[in-house]
């Protein structure tokens, strides 16, 4: 195995940022502006991403570079200028953080009602570290899993990583989480998420998984992870890789489906032999791997990128699952692709792959009422409209119901749309927005 497969994990954070930016050929003032953005949006990467995935000769236009390194125009120019001036003047850290927090507050750190509508309760008490948006599925946020091997610049969970306890979902009280699930027999699936569940070592992740194996009501355990793309050594040469695979085998042997929800944003993330080895080991445990990613301007907004990615995933035994629309949080304006264009990218990529790749769904918005899929653009009674349906919904009666919105070529999110052929959308009623 090559050196990349045997060396230990090494993280790079904002204190290494200026040195790394020099490799991209950025001038002094450009690096300062990027550092200003990084006071607001978190930066973290690692040696595998830096040395094995990024084509530095193409930076800063390289898609993997753009995937992990902040860009100066991700935030309003006036905000970047104020922060850059503070950094240049070597202002006190408290002053810099106060300005960074002001900017963060404008970026919708918790989209889709997750702080208000998704928090489960036992009696009147909220259960920390969990979300319950859909009746059959709960999300668990392990306290030790609220970081990643590297951060994606588009990540909708960016608020988990900025050190503000008020913005973070996290708990290590697994007994309380299990008690909540027992009280809700409709829950049949648990998603362990973050951050990245696979940042945790085997002794820690086992503490969260083992109690779930005793819950007969559960049919599946899902693990949300970018580790296959950003640190495949987690499953091959890390000291606890073998123990981790044995834990996966125990989940499968318990009769539950173990599904990896693996995030791959670009085909290059699949090219390393390390990824192929990690995938084979995970599949060998009896787990399945489903792939998903958002459609991101300047990184993967090209049908050829998606079709290449899905075809490669199929050859590797992975199941293409979701193309998401970039969520309405963080630097959405920088990364967002209009819904009309998103549908075209999906349609053209979907049309160029075999039926075995057409397990993928999208483009899908994980919005407040549920997962809304853009099915196409058509004309009805002389009016051009978007065709949409709910893949999943807070109100299960909405699932699968088609509805229509006026065609708007500039719309990038559900809230930008207006109803067509009806006075209101089917979810625009008090009953449809009740909490679970």
pLDDT of 435: 38
Across 271-288, average pLDDT: 98
**Which of 56, 73, 105 is a domain's end point?**
105
Question: Does 133 lie in the same domain as 94?
Answer: no
- CA–CA distance, 132 with 120 (Å, rounded to integer): 6
pLDDT in tens, 89-123: 999 999 999 999 898 888 776 665 556 678 889 88
* In-domain check, residue 434: no
Across 57-85, average pLDDT: 94
- Long-range contacts: 71-79, Cβ < 8 Å, 24+? 71/34, 71/37, 71/153, 71/334, 72/30, 72/33, 72/34, 72/36, 72/37, 73/334, 74/37, 74/41, 74/153, 74/331, 74/334, 75/37, 75/40, 75/41, 75/103, 75/331, 79/40, 79/103
pLDDT in tens, 382-417: 999 999 999 999 999 999 999 999 999 999 999 999
* In-domain check, residue 401: no
Residue whose pair of structure tokens reads 């009309």 in the numeric block: 340
pLDDT in tens, 21-43: 999 999 999 999 999 999 998 89
**Whole-number percent of the chain with pLDDT over 70:** 91
pTM: 0.91
Question: What residues make up the domain containing 270?
Answer: 121-294
pLDDT in tens, 361-378: 999 999 999 999 999 999
Statement: residue 168 has pLDDT above 70: no
Across 289-293, average pLDDT: 97
- CA–CA distance, 174 with 152 (Å, rounded to integer): 28
Question: Does 273 lie in the same domain as 179?
Answer: yes
**Which of 272, 294, 316 is a domain's end point?**
294
pLDDT in tens, 318-346: 999 999 998 877 777 888 999 999 999 99
Question: Does 20 lie in the same domain as 150?
Answer: no
Domain total in the chain:
2
CATH number for the domain spanning 254: value is 3.20.20.70
pLDDT averaged over the chain? Answer: 91
């Amino acid at each position: 195995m090559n050196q990349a497969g045997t060396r230990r994990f090494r993280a790079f954070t904002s204190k290494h940022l200026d040195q790394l930016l020099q490799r991209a050929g950025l001038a002094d003032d450009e690096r300062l502006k990027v550092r200003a953005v990084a006071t607001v949006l978190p930066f973290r990467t690692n040696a595998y991403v830096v040395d094995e995935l990024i084509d530095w000769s193409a930076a800063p236009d390289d898609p993997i570079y753009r995937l992990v390194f902040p860009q100066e125009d991700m935030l309003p120019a006036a905000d970047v200028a104020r922060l850059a001036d503070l950094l240049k003047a070597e202002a006190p850290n408290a002053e810099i953080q106060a300005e960074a927090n002001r900017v963060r507050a404008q970026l919708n750190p918790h989209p889709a009602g997750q702080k208000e509508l998704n928090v489960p309760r036992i009696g009147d008490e909220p259960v920390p570290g969990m979300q319950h948006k859909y009746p059959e599925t709960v999300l668990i946020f392990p306290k030790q899993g609220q970081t990643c091997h590297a951060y994606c610049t588009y990540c909708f969970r960016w608020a988990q990583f900025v050190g503000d306890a008020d913005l973070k979902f996290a708990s290590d009280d697994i007994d309380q989480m299990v008690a909540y699930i027992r009280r809700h027999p409709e829950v049949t699936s648990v998603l362990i998420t973050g951050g990245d569940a696979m940042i945790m070592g085997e002794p820690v992740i086992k503490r969260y998984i083992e109690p779930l194996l005793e819950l007969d009501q559960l049919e599946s355990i899902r693990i949300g992870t970018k580790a296959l793309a950003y640190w495949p050594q987690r499953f091959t040469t890390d000291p606890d890789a073998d123990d981790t695979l044995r834990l996966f085998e125990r989940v499968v042997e318990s009769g539950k489906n173990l599904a990896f929800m693996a995030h791959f944003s670009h085909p290059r993330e699949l090219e390393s032999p390390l990824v192929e080895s990690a995938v084979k080991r995970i599949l060998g445990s009896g787990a399945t791997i489903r792939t998903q990613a958002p459609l991101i301007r300047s990184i993967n907004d090209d049908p050829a990128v998606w079709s290449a990615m899905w075809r490669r995933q199929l050859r590797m035994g992975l199941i293409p699952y979701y193309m998401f629309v970039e969520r309405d949080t963080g630097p959405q304006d920088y990364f967002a692709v209009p819904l009309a264009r998103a549908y075209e990218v999906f349609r053209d990529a979907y049309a160029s792959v075999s039926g075995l790749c057409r397990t993928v769904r999208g483009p899908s918005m994980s919005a407040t009422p549920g997962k809304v899929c853009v099915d196409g653009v058509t004309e009805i009674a002389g009016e051009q409209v978007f065709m949409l349906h709910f893949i999943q919904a807070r109100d299960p009666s909405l699932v699968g119901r088609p509805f229509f919105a006026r065609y708007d070529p500039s719309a990038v999110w559900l809230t930008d749309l207006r109803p067509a052929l009806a006075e209101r959308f089917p979810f625009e009623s008090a009953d449809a927005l009740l909490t679970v």
